[in-house]
């Protein structure tokens, strides 16, 4: 059974967002889960920096950068969501498809039409995932100081965002890796768990969740990993997921 599509709704009108939420709750083939909402392009990009989405449902006429500008910005992401425009204005359809939008829906949106758009997104994702390496090939390629090294994903304890790069930590050493946390999270959901906006940990390495003495970031919780002395902070947003992992 396929997991529900992770959806980001971007529309400056609260009623329009609520209408889409209601329709998405009725979608079944595929099902959809509204993971976040944004009222403008700035909020949308902030959401995308925190997590990965399968599809963004984007209005076109919004304050500030419009939906077309947002779609252009999404193309610079390491793992952009599929784009479906949802708008009251039909005249932008040509520009939308030039931006490789999966579909273009006009308001008021009908359930059948939205379901068809999600089916297109699902087929696109299935085609993209078929091109990814299989589980037997799960290694991360690290290039440092003129040297290329294959680090087995099974040895990775955590990945942490540091400026434009990622710190990859194993039990024996650290590496610098190019890429984004959102890309890694989407690519290896069975292996990696987000514990903070800037950190993923290996699910199999999580040993304990405990109160943190260092509350500099205000979270007050941290995880301990097998093979490491240091703990990593856990955000309140991810606390439930960590607890579920430990008791599951």
Question: Same domain for 118 and 145?
Answer: no
Nearest 10 degrees: Cα torsion 16, 22, 26, 27: 40
Question: Same domain for 141 and 171?
Answer: yes
pLDDT for the residue 145: 65
Question: Same domain for 147 and 124?
Answer: no
What's 229's DSSP letter? S
Share in percent of the chain as helix, strand, coil (round to 5): 35, 30, 35
Structural domain range at position 115: 5-130
Confidence at 136, pLDDT banded by 50, 70, 90: very low
Question: Same domain for 105 and 152?
Answer: no
Number of domains, the chain = 2
CA distance 200 to 241: 12
Instruction: Give pLDDT tens digits for 79-124.
Output: 789 999 999 888 888 887 888 899 999 999 999 999 999 999 999 8
Question: Same domain for 116 and 144?
Answer: no
Pick from 130, 160, 182: which residue ends a domain?
130
Instruction: Give pLDDT tens digits for 19-74.
Output: 999 999 999 989 999 999 999 999 999 988 778 899 999 999 999 999 999 999 88
Question: Same domain for 120 and 166?
Answer: no
Collapsing DSSP to helix, strand or coil, 82 comes out as strand
Instruction: Give pLDDT tens digits for 225-238.
Output: 998 888 999 998 89
Q: Quick one: which of 101, 116, 132, 196 has its CA closest to 158?
A: 196
**What Cα–Cα distance (Å) separates residue 191 from each residue in 183, 209, 226?**
13, 18, 15
Instruction: Give pLDDT tens digits for 61-71.
Output: 999 999 999 99
Helix (H) or strand (E) holding 231: strand 231-234
Question: Same domain for 218 and 106?
Answer: no
Structure tokens at 81: 């969501």
Confidence at 134, pLDDT banded by 50, 70, 90: very low
Question: Same domain for 183 and 155?
Answer: yes
Instruction: Give pLDDT tens digits for 184-217.
Output: 888 888 899 999 999 999 999 999 999 876 555 5
pLDDT for the residue 146: 66
Question: Same domain for 15 and 63?
Answer: yes
**What Cα–Cα distance (Å) separates residue 186 from each residue in 112, 197, 242?**
28, 14, 17
CATH number at residue 88: 3.40.50.2300
Question: Same domain for 114 and 12?
Answer: yes
Q: Torsion-angle region of residue 19: left (phi > 0), alpha (psi -120 to 50) or beta? A: alpha
Pick from 66, 100, 130: which residue ends a domain?
130
218 pLDDT more than 80: no
Rg from Cα positions in the chain: 20
CATH number at residue 229: 2.40.50.1020
Question: Same domain for 183 and 111?
Answer: no
Structure tokens at 133: 């390496």
Give the number of other Cβ atoms within 10 Å of residue 193's Cβ.
23
Pick from 130, 151, 171: which residue ends a domain?
130
CA distance 99 to 75: 9
Question: Same domain for 140 and 125?
Answer: no
């Amino acid at each position: 059974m396929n997991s529900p599509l992770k959806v980001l709704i971007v529309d400056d009108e609260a009623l329009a967002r609520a209408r889409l939420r209601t329709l998405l709750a009725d979608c079944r083939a595929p099902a959809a889960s509204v993971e976040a909402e944004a009222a403008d392009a700035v909020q949308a990009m902030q959401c995308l920096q925190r997590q990965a989405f399968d599809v963004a449902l984007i209005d076109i006429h919004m304050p500030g950068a419009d939906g077309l500008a947002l779609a252009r910005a999404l193309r610079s992401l390491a793992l952009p969501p599929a784009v479906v425009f949802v708008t009251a204005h039909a005249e932008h359809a040509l520009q939308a498809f030039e931006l490789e939008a999966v579909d273009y829906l006009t308001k008021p949106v009908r359930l059948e039409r939205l379901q068809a758009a999600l089916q297109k997104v699902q087929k696109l994702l299935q085609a993209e995932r078929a091109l990814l390496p299989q589980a037997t090939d799960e290694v991360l390629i690290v290039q440092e100081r003129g040297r290329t090294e294959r680090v087995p994903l099974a040895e990775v304890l955590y990945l942490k965002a540091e400026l434009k790069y990622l710190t990859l930590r194993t039990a024996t050493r650290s590496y610098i890796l190019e890429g984004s946390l959102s890309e890694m999270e989407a690519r290896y959901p069975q292996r990696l768990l987000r514990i903070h906006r800037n950190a993923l940990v290996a699910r199999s390495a999580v040993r304990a969740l405990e109160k943190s003495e260092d509350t500099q970031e205000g979270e007050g919780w941290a995880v301990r990993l097998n093979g490491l002395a240091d703990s990593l902070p856990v955000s309140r947003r991810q606390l439930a997921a960590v607890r579920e992992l430990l008791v599951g």
